[in-house]
Structure 1
């Protein structure tokens, strides 16, 4: 997975006023390719399993409030999703694991393990028959839910529809990290949908987009004498993901994503304008800086 993190905040504006209206959340698409982790690598057999898995959170978003995951995967067999109590790849923490394409693409599995001892009493496994659930040449959609300690999964991109199996954990834990991997001689390509949380940090980053305008849906176009007023205006709307500002024209465009699943923030060169992106999870996840 090729990731470029822009940690430096080139232009940072502290928002002075914040009031959030409730609207539908924004989902971003994260593409991941997983290599063959090795013969026999799985949470059932491997102590340090997270050494072989790939973190899906390349945007450094806060995953703490998530209770479900939607994704598409292209693999011949043995595609794994890890739901871990650790956000720093600590394999000794409790985890759930969903495996599609077990036993040469004949079964699927829920695994729970309390630690990395691999003792029989430290883990639980539950299988179902699911012949040809994966496809070598085609992306297929799945969902996983862990709301209220009930671990369930199914096909499609609508949570709780087309359920294949479920299991209720009596020792539920908070899922802080989500990782994927493929093993047993297989590779995989993934399209993972991540919901952006409401934890706006109150800051914006220019993402070095001086003399650039973002081409998103304009939800408000106002005369605005300062960055602060424009930032405050954007903060009034949960759907606002940033704004275009022109100090010479005293003009502010409040912007929102037009699509439910976001894969890009298109922009073009425009003298005098600067695009600013909302930042989440402190000030380390400024979405406009990663597309």
Structure 2
């Protein structure tokens, strides 16, 4: 059974490859985009019950409208790697280590946005840079691993060309993280309760964000998103300023921070928010109450019943750690 492919692509953008667990194209799969978004971004997503972004690369100009470019993909033991050139494990620009992998039974190629893409495949042609090909090949569609979480859709609604599916992660003891993407004007204002990334008994959240600016978080006193609320902007105003505001009947600015470069377009940054006993704190890093850059002590505080994330004029990727 093969664990890699080598190929060449000629096209302006949007070379799409799906690695499927079944020849029928049902069940889980990995979805790879090379040179998407106008040849500026590539990504890997994993779909089990819904498609979940697992890795991004903002490396530009991977594809060429007039010249064939060499690529390879490997998936041995659930270690998904995508690279340029014709040497396996060289020039990696996408990677994902799947703790709950599946055997690849079919590979499907396509394109999008009315493009024409030409492909040349070279079966059994890849020279290997890395040592040892004596690994055990996964023969089953699904691997039974004790710490692989089970997934359950808890809410859905239909919108044009896509659907929002939530993973009930909060009920799984070993759930490690939940990945969400916010896009201005599309699937904006996402409730963390729907995604299992927040529980009403929580007094803090920890998360990572990748994006250029404008990570917006609202702590609501009501699940129906009525006032009052605390509105937090991380990396606003071109990633130059962050702010907490409290809304009761009107918007009241309560704390500003002019710490710059909190967000990064190309890498994930760690943050935490704590609201215990009305003491609102926002900090960077992965240690609660460390590196505080926003704070507000509310003498008339309220319980947090919902958290909403969004952005403005940007696409942001979030990873939550319940």
Give the TM-score taking structure 2 as reference length. 0.45
Give the TM-score taking structure 1 as reference length. 0.49
